[in-house]
């Protein structure tokens, strides 16, 4: 077993303070990023393999062009050459769209959607942290002001349950040692 040198800096371990909380936080955001990545890759796969071919797409012009198609016509047993007029729509190369132009709009849309999902997730998840912190700060302010403080209550599923329990023990044993409630 190798012992750490006390003089050696432990950069990464200094950032991991509450391992369970931080790893759960990291896992939640990692899952959100993986979901966004899968959504984007799935969109690009769908776009490349089902909708367009060979990476170049163009629009057809609105004005048809007249062309004459060579054909043969049988008149009295004799085959004669004949030109048939047809109207065709030619590609409009002035508005050429490549795959980047097509994909960038979808990627921007998905990125905006992903940003919105991240914002909603952050607000919901941070609410589970902000509520208890707010509650604990209020109780500590009351304690500092010398007011009578009751037990700190935190909703089930919120973060910092362990901290609230420890503070409740301090309040119970140090502030109200003989209080039956």
Q: How many residues does the chain have?
A: 181
pTM of the prediction?
0.50
The residues, ordered by sequence, that sit 6+ positions from 154 with a Cβ below 8 Å of its Cβ are: 131, 132, 135, 160, 161, 164
Per-residue pLDDT reduced to its tens digit, 122-168: 888 888 888 888 899 999 999 889 888 888 898 888 888 899 999 99
User: Residue 65 forms beta bridges with which residues?
Assistant: 88
pLDDT tens string 42-51: 887 777 776 5
Instruction: For 61-142, list the strands marked E by DSSP.
Output: 65-75, 78-88, 91-98
What does the domain layout of the chain look like in residue ranges?
A: 11-58+96-175
């Amino acid at each position: 077993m190798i012992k750490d040198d006390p003089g050696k800096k432990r950069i990464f371990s200094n950032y991991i303070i509450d391992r369970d909380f931080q790893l759960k936080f990291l896992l939640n955001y990692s899952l959100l990023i993986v979901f966004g990545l899968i959504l984007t890759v799935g969109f690009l796969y769908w776009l490349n393999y089902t909708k367009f071919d060979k990476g170049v797409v163009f629009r057809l012009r609105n004005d048809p062009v007249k062309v004459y198609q060579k054909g043969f016509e049988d008149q009295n047993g004799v085959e004669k050459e004949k030109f048939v007029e047809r109207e065709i729509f030619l590609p409009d190369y002035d508005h050429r769209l490549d795959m980047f132009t097509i994909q960038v709009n979808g990627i921007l849309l998905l990125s905006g959607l992903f940003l919105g999902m991240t914002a909603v997730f952050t607000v919901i998840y941070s609410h589970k942290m902000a509520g208890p912190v707010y509650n604990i700060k209020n109780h500590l302010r009351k304690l500092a002001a010398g007011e009578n403080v009751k037990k700190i209550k935190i909703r089930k599923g919120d973060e910092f349950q362990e901290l609230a329990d420890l503070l409740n023990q301090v309040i119970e044993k140090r502030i109200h040692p003989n209080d039956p409630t």
